[in-house]
């Protein structure tokens, strides 16, 4: 006799076989619910990972741009016309004549 058949009766006779069927049914429902919860948690975790990757990437770009700007400004401040090495005219002419 199945649980469905027993549920239709007014007076339920609860014995070992009924108990086993009930426990099997509860275990099956629990397994299905657990699978559903795990699937939803995995989907949420993947969404969080994707968001974190995107935010981390964006933060990395902002930080890299800031470092580049800081380095470029430092180079411009440290360079002056007197600190730029000048070539001697003779070496420039030698290079020009050596090219085909």
pLDDT at 17: 87
pLDDT at 48: 93
Burial, 21: exposed, middle or buried (Cβ in 10 Å; 0-12, 13-18, 19+)? middle
* 63 within a domain of the structure (yes/no): yes
Per-residue pLDDT of the chain (100 residues; tens, 9 = 90+): 666 666 666 566 778 888 999 999 999 999 999 999 999 999 999 999 999 999 998 899 899 999 999 999 988 888 765 555 555 556 555 555 555 5
pLDDT at 18: 87
* 28 within a domain of the structure (yes/no): yes
* 85 within a domain of the structure (yes/no): no
Joined together, the tokens standing for residue 45 give 């975790």
Report the chain's terminal Cα–Cα distance, integer Å.
Answer: 101
* 100 within a domain of the structure (yes/no): no
* 49 within a domain of the structure (yes/no): yes
Q: Which domain holds residue 41?
A: 3-75
Number of domains in the chain: 1
* 9 within a domain of the structure (yes/no): yes
* 83 within a domain of the structure (yes/no): no
């Amino acid at each position: 006799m199945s649980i469905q058949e027993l549920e239709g009766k007014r007076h339920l006779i609860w014995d070992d076989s009924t108990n086993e069927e009930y426990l099997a049914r509860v275990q099956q429902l629990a397994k299905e619910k657990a699978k559903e919860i795990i699937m939803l948690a995995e989907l949420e975790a993947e969404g969080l990972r994707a968001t974190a990757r995107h935010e981390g990437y964006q933060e990395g770009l902002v930080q890299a741009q800031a470092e580049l700007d800081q380095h470029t400004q430092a180079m411009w401040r440290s360079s002056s016309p007197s600190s730029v090495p000048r070539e001697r005219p003779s070496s420039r002419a030698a290079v020009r004549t050596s090219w085909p």
